[in-house]
A and B are shown apart, each in its own frame.
Chain A
Amino acid sequence: MVPITLSIVEDLDEVREGLSSFLGSSDDFLILETFRNAEEAAAKLP
């Protein structure tokens, strides 16, 4: 099955890293990028 590709935009390190770690450990998801702020996300997404 093709994994669902995700990006995470969250400034709190523990939340961002926790989500990335949990979701990234599943074959159902592929984490493309994570962002600490909206400016960076707006520039690089999609």
Chain B
Amino acid sequence: MDINLPGMNGIDCIRQVKRKCNTIQFIMFTVYETDDKIFEALKAGASGYLLKKSNFDVIASALKELHAGGSPMSAHIARKLVNVFHQKKNSMDVLSTRENEILHLLAEGLLYKEIADQLSITTGTVSQHIHNLYEKLHVQNRTEAINKFLGRE
């Protein structure tokens, strides 16, 4: 499946077909190697991701691997995915256990008062933890913190 197609793109096509038949498998075949395209395609239901510069033998092997239950990817794409997970883990590692708990609750949409009640602490303490975690994550507000937590930055 190519991504850049006239009219509907390949990623939207996968979403539509997957809704009809979840067992069909897709492998992307594209020139795009940006993180957003890779994640969007995989979230839409693609099981593999090959760059168009791959030679025919690689393509044939990838299709067999896909059919056997694997998720073939160009090496460069696999490394990008690994790097994203490393970055996400490292940025969250700087938070304390309590700050991580509070960030989870923020991401669930809880208000300061609700977080305080749930953790049996005061709203002032919640505010202090949130101030600290904003500083550690280098973000300015709740939305930025949650996006960083969810790996959307």
Contact = CB atoms under 8 A, between A and B. Distances in A.
Nearest to B24: A46
A46 B12 CA distance: 15
Interface residues of B, number: 24
A35 B6 CA distance: 12
Contact of A28 (B2, B7, B13, B60): B60
Contacts of B63: 4, 6, 23, 29
A9 B6 CA distance: 11
A38 B24 contact: no
Given A4-B67, A46-B17, A46-B21, A39 B8 contact: yes
Interface string B1-14: 11011111110110
B60 A45 contact: no
B5 A15 contact: no
Given A23-B63, A28-B64, A38 B21 contact: no
Contacts of A28: 60, 64
